[in-house]
Structure 1
Amino acid sequence: MTRLSTYDAIIIGAGPAGSSVALALALRGWAVAIVEKSAFPRRKVCGEYISASNIALLDRLDIGDAWRANAGPEVRRVGFFSSETCVEAPMPGAKYGLAANDGFGRALGRDVLDALLLQAARSAGAEIFQPCRAVAIERDEDMQRVRIQARDENSGDETTTLRAPVIVGAHGSWEPGPLPSQLQKTSHPSDLLGFKAHFTGSSLAPDLMPLLAFSGGYGGMVLADHGRLSISCCIRRDMLARLRRNRSSGWDGPKQDGQVSAAEAVFRHLMASCRGVSDALDGVHLDGPWLAAGPIQPGIRSCYERDIFRVGNAAGESHPIIAEGISMALQSGWLLAEELARAPRGRAGRELAGRRYQAAWRELFSTRVHAAAVLARIALSPAGPALMAAAVRNFPRALTLGAHMSGKTRPIPGLV
């Protein structure tokens, strides 16, 4: 049996980018469908920090109060941990139209944030298809059809076809697939693989978010909701392989094919490479399993191509060294909704919205994407961690300046 439903827009992916554009459109009266392959709540490889410039947007999306009630403490200091170096500096505050107590960002686990956004979209009228995977997008005159398959055992052979003039790819950049909006996945020794874990019992100062620099990678840590420390990092594929081989001799921890697990190798590398990390994680307890994903694919891509819009990492991705992934996801969804709402209906209107959206996206994000690429290149060079440590020891305010340049204080167009 096949079911056909028609909407104004179909959003593929219910992370912060997909849910924000769906919610913004639904609040404007659009008929919206969201297709999400995973059941919620679920954890994701993500730094989980949300800068203060997003708070006005969260309020506009009607989840600001829920975010304030759940997020971790305000992050008032940015830091740098590498080898024996531990340096701190003030985090630049964002005062654009914010309440007196909203001048600093905070962290919220993706298992909580994504569920808040999706529930808000449902309350605004969006129809949710979850867990369902989009398997094909096909032209249907001035519309497009999205074929989806349910991911539960009780669905049988039933297929559902959704039909809409506006299709938005919000599925991220890490997972390849059959959709024209998805990226191809390749494998190179220099690929950066992402790892993430939560811990309880950390001694990290609650208002501090340090950048971690170590041989072959970089990362960050921040206190999120419910007292959980969120630690995430990227590491080169060839460095990870070397660490696993080196740890296999004499190590009695979990092994795969004669090697220690990737997560164990990454964790031990972090602890050995950054005194600040080993101090903060002394005596902690792992809260849930380590997660892995990737490779990350930083860069600026087409925001509108073959009559499909892209938001979040599908549109463009900065190196996570600047901790702006969620900000870019939320804000790209808002930018697209603004342009779609302004444009006339029909293909000419979609093309106009696509051009305007791409211009707005590049105006807001291109500087931070390029700045993150430069910073990541330095961090990943053989002498990079030592050079960065020397720089911040002599000029700690470079951390404050870097946080400002990464976009953490930049207002969102249309909200100030």
Structure 2
Amino acid sequence: MKYDALVIGAGPAGTTAALMLARAGWSVAIVEKTAFPRRKVCGEFISATSMPLLHELGVSDAFFERAGPEVRRVGLFADKAVLDSAMPQAAGSFAGWGRALGREHLDTLLLEAAVNAGARLWQPWSAHELHAGNQIYRCKITGEGSERELVAPVVIGAYGSWRSGALPLQSVEPHKPSDLLAFKAHFTECELPAGLMPLLVFPGGYGGMVHSDGGRVSLSCCIRRDQLQACRRLYPRQRAGESVLEHIKASCLGVRRALLHARLRGAWLSAGPIRPGIRIRSTQDIFLVGNLAGEAHPIVAEGISMAMQSAWLLSRRLIADQDGVTARRRISEVHREYASDWKACFGMRLRMAAVFAHLAMRPGATTLLLPLLDRFPKILSVGAQLSGKTKQVVRAPAPVSSRARQRIM
């Protein structure tokens, strides 16, 4: 089966790209191996800088109807410190604050919009054996007890950075004590103030809490593998996620207070190890979006926004080309342009996230910084600004070709 573009992965990055390309007249296939809706390890927060993009995609009304309250305060729960400061406000016509929405709702919303725009969905199907040749890609997919081959000149990798497999940039790496493993759970009946999103700092890791949809509070965190092993030894009767929570509560007064009467809603989720860093290159074959292109430490809560915005950056480059991107020379040009755009928009964000994460995971640094933060809590607002909470990426509607794109094949 022949398409103009093949998108592998139906998270926020993949569905954003598929939706934009389908609306521009491209024939698009989306391959997603997991059935929706499904919960996913993720902080769930979407910055105000992504609100223009949600509006452009036509899903803002549905998002606002379901998402949690506006996040107007940023906080810090570390040891006995319970601090908060104003969340910096994004400028522009969509000025405001970010909100959180569970991935089981957000991903389904975006995927349905892409399908309604004309994208062909293969779900639950798994992609493997991607081969390039003669300016075309051939991808074998399996599902429903059968195998198919999809053909396209453009392939967009949106399958995340955490899984192993045979696709580009998927690999199995040996375990290291410093590996960061991710956990997430939802709670109800929490005493976390509405509109507050605190950073959680504890030995060997960091995390965050935020009011999400349906009265739920999402708690997500990353913890070093060696610290997780210590937690398992300290709480041998607890499961992994529960032992991590006990460690966090023992280290953060603010978390103990917020969850004093809370109830766990659903099971703990885990994933990882995460792979922070920049993987996008100007000479790659397939296009990368989302965490596959580059992943910031989740301490800055910018993962979803970066995923969707990276897809917007790529799609507008592809759509702007009136004659298509069938020629290898033109594909190389788009790779260079997109990689340059990506690094200009997100490079500093990744570097600041790495600095914040390494400071948070070092008890000595936390001990030194807490008195300063206690005296000047507005430093938290500055940190939020440095993490990208006010950096506008989507400034204008994406370019659309003057004529509907004809099928390439």
Give the TM-score normalised by the residue count of structure 1. Answer: 0.92
1:70 to 66, 72, 87: 66
Q: Contact 2:48 / 2:390 at 8 angstroms: preserved in 1? A: yes
AA aligned to 1:384 is A
Provide the residue aligned with 1:233 in structure 2.
221
2:19 is equivalent to residue 23 of structure 1: yes
Question: What is the alpha-carbon distance in structure 2 between the residues aligned to residue 46 and residue 384 of structure 1?
Answer: 26
Equivalent runs, 1:386-397 vs 2, <5 Å? 386-397=367-378
Tell me the secondary structure at the aligned position of residue 209 of structure 1.
strand
Classify 1:69/1:147 alpha carbon distance in 2 versus 1 (closer, same or farther; 3 Å).
same
AA aligned to 2:117 is A
Residue 385 of structure 1: how far off its partner (Å)? 2.7
1:6-39 per-residue CA deviation (whole Å, 9 max, x = no partner) reads: 1110011000111111111111111111100110
Q: Contact 1:76 / 1:91 at 8 angstroms: preserved in 2? A: yes
Deviates more, 1:299-308 or 1:50-59: 299-308
Provide the residue aligned with 1:178 in structure 2.
166
Provide the residue aligned with 2:48 in structure 1.
52
Provide the residue aligned with 2:110 in structure 1.
117
Residue 303 of structure 1: how far off its partner (Å)? 4.3
Q: Contact 1:7 / 1:162 at 8 angstroms: preserved in 2? A: yes
Provide the residue aligned with 1:358 in structure 2.
339
Equivalent runs, 1:137-156 vs 2, <5 Å? 137-150=130-143, 155-156=144-145
Classify 1:183/1:362 alpha carbon distance in 2 versus 1 (closer, same or farther; 3 Å).
farther
Residue 307 of structure 1: how far off its partner (Å)? 1.7
AA aligned to 1:309 is F
AA aligned to 1:202 is C
Classify 1:240/1:221 alpha carbon distance in 2 versus 1 (closer, same or farther; 3 Å).
same
Provide the residue aligned with 1:256 in structure 2.
none
Equivalent runs, 1:200-219 vs 2, <5 Å? 200-219=188-207
Question: What is the alpha-carbon distance in structure 2 between the residues aligned to residue 182 and residue 326 of structure 1?
Answer: 21
Question: What is the alpha-carbon distance in structure 2 between the residues aligned to residue 348 and residue 92 of structure 1?
Answer: 42
Residue 373 of structure 1: how far off its partner (Å)? 0.5
2:258 is equivalent to residue 270 of structure 1: no
Residue 329 of structure 1: how far off its partner (Å)? 0.3
Q: Contact 1:175 / 1:185 at 8 angstroms: preserved in 2? A: no
Provide the residue aligned with 1:302 in structure 2.
280
Question: What is the alpha-carbon distance in structure 2 between the residues aligned to residue 66 and residue 373 of structure 1?
Answer: 33
Identity of aligned residues (%): 50
Deviates more, 1:303-312 or 1:265-274: 303-312
Q: Contact 2:84 / 2:377 at 8 angstroms: preserved in 1? A: yes
1:351-398 per-residue CA deviation (whole Å, 9 max, x = no partner) reads: 111100000000000001000101111111231332332231021011
Give the TM-score normalised by the residue count of structure 2. Answer: 0.94
Question: What is the alpha-carbon distance in structure 2 between the residues aligned to residue 176 and residue 398 of structure 1?
Answer: 39
Provide the residue aligned with 1:190 in structure 2.
178
Question: What is the alpha-carbon distance in structure 2 between the residues aligned to residue 181 and residue 19 of structure 1?
Answer: 20
2:119 to 119, 126, 144: 126
AA aligned to 1:238 is D
Provide the residue aligned with 2:314 in structure 1.
336
AA aligned to 2:371 is A
Question: What is the alpha-carbon distance in structure 1 between the residues aligned to residue 76 and residue 363 of structure 2?
Answer: 18
Residue 414 of structure 1: how far off its partner (Å)? 4.1
Classify 1:304/1:290 alpha carbon distance in 2 versus 1 (closer, same or farther; 3 Å).
farther
Equivalent runs, 1:81-96 vs 2, <5 Å? 81-96=77-92
1:230-258 per-residue CA deviation (whole Å, 9 max, x = no partner) reads: 0000000001101111222xxxx4xxxxx
Provide the residue aligned with 1:257 in structure 2.
none
Question: What is the alpha-carbon distance in structure 2 between the residues aligned to residue 198 and residue 278 of structure 1?
Answer: 15
AA aligned to 2:350 is V
Provide the residue aligned with 1:367 in structure 2.
348
2:187 is equivalent to residue 199 of structure 1: yes
Q: Contact 1:379 / 1:388 at 8 angstroms: preserved in 2? A: no
Q: Contact 1:169 / 1:181 at 8 angstroms: preserved in 2? A: no
Residue 217 of structure 1: how far off its partner (Å)? 0.4
2:152 to 155, 164, 175: 164
Question: What is the alpha-carbon distance in structure 2 between the residues aligned to residue 9 and residue 181 of structure 1?
Answer: 19
Q: Contact 2:89 / 2:390 at 8 angstroms: preserved in 1? A: yes
Question: What is the alpha-carbon distance in structure 2 between the residues aligned to residue 413 and residue 282 of structure 1?
Answer: 40
Question: What is the alpha-carbon distance in structure 1 between the residues aligned to residue 368 and residue 306 of structure 2?
Answer: 28
Tell me the secondary structure at the aligned position of residue 330 of structure 1.
helix
Question: What is the alpha-carbon distance in structure 2 between the residues aligned to residue 223 and residue 57 of structure 1?
Answer: 22
Provide the residue aligned with 2:361 in structure 1.
380
Classify 1:38/1:399 alpha carbon distance in 2 versus 1 (closer, same or farther; 3 Å).
same
Deviates more, 1:323-332 or 1:391-400: 391-400
Tell me the secondary structure at the aligned position of residue 6 of structure 1.
coil
Provide the residue aligned with 1:411 in structure 2.
392
Residue 413 of structure 1: how far off its partner (Å)? 4.3
